[in-house]
Structure 1
Amino acid sequence: MQRNSTNSESLRFSLFCIFIVGYEIFSITAIFLPSLIGIFFAYLVMLSDEIERTLGTKDKRWYLSLAFLVFAEQLNGFEFCSVILAWLLFYYLINDWLKTNIKWRKLLITIYVFSGYIITLGVSNIVLYVLNQPRMNLSYEYLLYGAIESLIALVIFRGRIL
């Protein structure tokens, strides 16, 4: 009988997705756990660069990362689709300039992670301003989460940025 590796691969992927969603729900109750918005923001930027470089198509990793970011933004109090607008602004206006002017790639990963929080917060505040609602403040938690996630992203994405 022959073993089928696609079954074990899809099972691993499904368990990983369940773990990430469970972690995100648990991170709401535990204040010391980062929400992983910055890591998935950086991952989405790197996937898009990879797709553009290889002329490939968007696969399930890209769409699931985007779905996770929308899920995480809703759990963390950001406005709906603010992370999508933040990613579009970052990727199409800032990303190419950063890649050409910053040669130290570890700093580039850190900028990706912090941009995930700061630009999403800015877009969310713009939407709140238009709706005449009280705006969110940039607190130390976002900076702490960005620092923690930057360290995690440096380990995870080592060697993945051009």
Structure 2
Amino acid sequence: MRRFSAIAGSGIFLIAAPGVVAGLVPWLLSDRWGLPWSPLPSFALTGGMLVIAAAAVLLHAFARFALEGLGTPAPVAPTERLVIGGVYRHVRNPMYVAVLSIILGQALLFSSWSIAAYAAIAAAAMVTFVKLYEEPTLAGRYGAEYEAYRRNVPGWLPRITPWKG
């Protein structure tokens, strides 16, 4: 896939998938973001920072697919190469982690139990999709390269090693 096509396809998929899951659905659950912000200032601040940080990670992950992998995250236009650079050096599923963080950030921002419950449902759906579709598909497509990557990089949360000074 050419670089321009990869960038355009990734941009369209960004709007179609994470845009709906982390944007449209929470927007609807929060009465079009009409809910008042959390009465707890620390919740609103933490939620806002989480949304911003996670959005940056999500954009970075999408850019890696287009520029490093020469493809898109969409199953219909997969990457030509396994994406293992950038944030993918630390976690295998940064897009899912970022999307869930954006949803949880909105739950905090609005102190919304309905958005928090939606995040739990979305997390279960994402884990199921990764286990039943993505991991077998990547193993079939990239073989030993993916298996080595999978052994060395955690799926959902980066490994935290204690600092030794």
Task: Give the alignment's TM-score, normalised by structure 1.
Answer: 0.40
